[in-house]
Amino acid sequence: GESVGLHLPTLSVQEGDNSIINCAYSNSASDYFIWYKQESGKGPQFIIDIRSNMDKRQGQRVTVLLNKTVKHLSLQIAATQPGDSAVYFCAENILSASKIIFGSGTRLSIRP
């Protein structure tokens, strides 16, 4: 069954503020957790991943945190810009399964 889901369907933030998008998972067997971004009319776009034996990983303006104790994943976007407006999906991967499973998306909107 589905094991990846998001806490909130929508998030509105002020331009320039930090955004935090949360995700809960239930499958402890996942090898990787991944964040994808989907802009209107486009396919999902890879943002960042984190291996299950890590608790934090940073990219350009983004940080992913993994809390295995409470099975929680978050994506932090620093200094949110209008171009960050999109639906964000968390996803999980079991390497041997050759697929990723997407959770429900969170729509991020930016207030000017």
Let me know: does 49 contact 58? Beta carbons within 8 Å. Answer: no
CB of 36 to another protein, least distance (A): 8
CB of 31 to another protein, least distance (A): 7
Q: Which residues contact 71 (CB under 8 A, 6 or more apart)?
A: 24, 25, 26, 28
CB of 107 to another protein, least distance (A): 10
Report residue 6 CA to chain centroid gap.
9
Provide the binding-site residues for another protein, judged by CB under 8 A.
31-32, 34, 38, 41-46, 49, 89, 93-105
